[in-house]
Chain A
Amino acid sequence: MSELMVRADRVHKVFGRNHVLRGVSMEVKAGEVACLLGPSGSGKSTFLRCINHLETIEGGRIYVDGDLIGYREQGEHLRELTEKELAEQRQDIGMVFQRFNLFPHMTALENIVCSPMTVKREGRVKATQFAKELLEQVGLGEKANAYPSELSGGQQQRVAIARALAMRPKLMLFDEPTSALDPELVGEVLDVMKGLAESGMTMIVVTHEMGFAREVADTVTFMDGGVVVEHGTPEQVLVNPQEARTKEFLSKVL
Chain B
Amino acid sequence: MSSRNVVADIPDDVRIHAKKVRHPMRMLAAVVLLLLVVGIIIDGAGREAYDWAAFGTYIFDPRIVQAAGVTIQLTVYSMVIAIALGVLLAVMRQSPNKILGYISWVFIWIFRGTPVYVQLVFWGLFTVIYKTINVGIPGMEPWWSFGTADVLGLFWIAVIGLALNEAAYMAEIVRAGLLAVDSGQVEAATALGMNWRRTMGKVVLPQAMRVIIPPTGNEVISMLKTTSLVTAVPFSLDLYTRSRDISSETLNPIPLLLVASVWYLVITSILMVGQHFLERRFSRGHVRRVSRSAGGAEKSQGVTKLIKTVPAFGADTGENGDRR
Chain A residues within 8 Å of B, Cβ to Cβ: 39-46, 49, 52, 54-55, 83-84, 87-88, 90-91, 93-95, 97-107, 114-115, 118-119, 146-153, 155, 160, 163-164, 167, 176, 178-183, 185-186, 208-211, 253
Query: Do B193 and A88 touch (CB < 8 A)?
Result: yes
A-B contact pairs, 27 of them (CB 8 A): A40-B318, A87-B195, A91-B193, A93-B191, A95-B191, A97-B187, A97-B188, A99-B307, A99-B312, A99-B313, A101-B187, A101-B188, A103-B185, A103-B188, A103-B189, A103-B207, A106-B285, A147-B284, A149-B288, A150-B300, A151-B300, A152-B303, A167-B193, A178-B321, A183-B322, A208-B319, A208-B321
Nearest first, the 8 A-B pairs at minimum CB distance are A179-B321, A91-B193, A179-B318, A101-B188, A40-B319, A95-B191, A115-B192, A101-B184
- Write out the residue numbers on chain A whose beta carbons fall within 8 Å of the beta carbon of B288: 149-150
Bound complex: CA A210 to CA B323 (Å): 8
B5 in contact (CB, < 8 A): no
Query: Do A208 and B299 touch (CB < 8 A)?
Result: no
Residue in chain B with minimal CB distance to A176 = B318
CB-contact partner of A42 in B187, B189, B210, B316, under 8 A: B316
- Measured CB to CB, the closest approach of chain A to B299, in angstroms, equals 6
Query: Do B193 and A180 touch (CB < 8 A)?
Result: no
The stretch from B152-160, B198-206, B266-274 touching chain A is: B198-206
Bound complex: CA A165 to CA B310 (Å): 27
Besides the known contacts A153-B300, A164-B191, 18 further A-B residue pairs in the complex with CB atoms under 8 A apart: A41-B316, A46-B316, A54-B191, A84-B195, A87-B190, A95-B191, A97-B184, A97-B188, A99-B307, A101-B185, A101-B188, A105-B286, A114-B202, A118-B198, A150-B292, A153-B303, A163-B192, A209-B322
B245 in contact (CB, < 8 A): no
Query: Do B196 and A83 touch (CB < 8 A)?
Result: yes
Bound complex: CA A46 to CA B196 (Å): 22
- Write out the residue numbers on chain A whose beta carbons fall within 8 Å of the beta carbon of B193: 87-88, 90-91, 115, 119, 167
B121 in contact (CB, < 8 A): no
Residue in chain A with minimal CB distance to B193 = A91
- Write out the residue numbers on chain A whose beta carbons fall within 8 Å of the beta carbon of B195: 83-84, 87
- Write out the residue numbers on chain B whose beta carbons fall within 8 Å of the beta carbon of A87: 190, 193-195
Bound complex: CA A40 to CA B321 (Å): 11
Query: Do B316 and A105 touch (CB < 8 A)?
Result: no
Query: Do B187 and A105 touch (CB < 8 A)?
Result: no
B248 in contact (CB, < 8 A): no
Residue in chain B with minimal CB distance to A42 = B316
Bound complex: CA A50 to CA B167 (Å): 39
Query: Do B207 and A104 touch (CB < 8 A)?
Result: yes
Query: Do A52 and B316 touch (CB < 8 A)?
Result: no
- Measured CB to CB, the closest approach of chain A to B11, in angstroms, equals 31
Bound complex: CA A39 to CA B316 (Å): 9
Chain B residues within 8 Å of A, Cβ to Cβ: 182, 184-185, 187-196, 198, 202-203, 206-207, 210, 282, 284-286, 288-289, 291-292, 296, 299-300, 303-304, 307, 310, 312-313, 315-319, 321-324
Bound complex: CA A121 to CA B226 (Å): 45
Query: Do B182 and A180 touch (CB < 8 A)?
Result: no
**Among A46, A55, A107, A176, residue most surrounded by chain B Cβ atoms (within 10 Å):** A176
Q: Do A149 and B322 contact each other (CB < 8 Å), given the known contacts A45-B316, A90-B193, A105-B206?
A: no
Query: Do B303 and A182 touch (CB < 8 A)?
Result: yes
- Measured CB to CB, the closest approach of chain A to B158, in angstroms, equals 37
Query: Do B291 and A99 touch (CB < 8 A)?
Result: no
Residue in chain A with minimal CB distance to B185 = A101
- Write out the residue numbers on chain B whose beta carbons fall within 8 Å of the beta carbon of A119: 192-194, 198
CB-contact partner of A44 in B282, B285, B316, B323, under 8 A: B316
Query: Do A253 and B207 touch (CB < 8 A)?
Result: no
Bound complex: CA A163 to CA B206 (Å): 19
Q: Do A148 and B319 contact each other (CB < 8 Å), given the known contacts A104-B207, A118-B202, A119-B194?
A: no
Query: Do A180 and B191 touch (CB < 8 A)?
Result: no
Bound complex: CA A84 to CA B187 (Å): 16
- Write out the residue numbers on chain A whose beta carbons fall within 8 Å of the beta carbon of B291: 146, 150
CB-contact partner of B300 in A107, A152, A208, under 8 A: A152
- Measured CB to CB, the closest approach of chain A to B210, in angstroms, equals 8
Residue in chain A with minimal CB distance to B288 = A149
Query: Do B284 and A105 touch (CB < 8 A)?
Result: yes
- Write out the residue numbers on chain A whose beta carbons fall within 8 Å of the beta carbon of B300: 150-153, 155
Q: Do A147 and B322 contact each other (CB < 8 Å), given the known contacts A49-B315, A101-B187, A164-B192?
A: no
CB-contact partner of A208 in B191, B202, B307, B323, under 8 A: B323
Bound complex: CA A163 to CA B195 (Å): 17
- Write out the residue numbers on chain A whose beta carbons fall within 8 Å of the beta carbon of B192: 90-91, 114-115, 119, 163-164, 167
CB-contact partner of B322 in A97, A104, A181, under 8 A: A181
- Write out the residue numbers on chain B whose beta carbons fall within 8 Å of the beta carbon of A105: 206-207, 210, 282, 284-286
Bound complex: CA A87 to CA B193 (Å): 4
Bound complex: CA A90 to CA B198 (Å): 14
- Write out the residue numbers on chain B whose beta carbons fall within 8 Å of the beta carbon of A164: 191-192
- Write out the residue numbers on chain A whose beta carbons fall within 8 Å of the beta carbon of B304: 148-149, 153
Query: Do B318 and A208 touch (CB < 8 A)?
Result: yes
- Write out the residue numbers on chain A whose beta carbons fall within 8 Å of the beta carbon of B303: 152-153, 182, 185
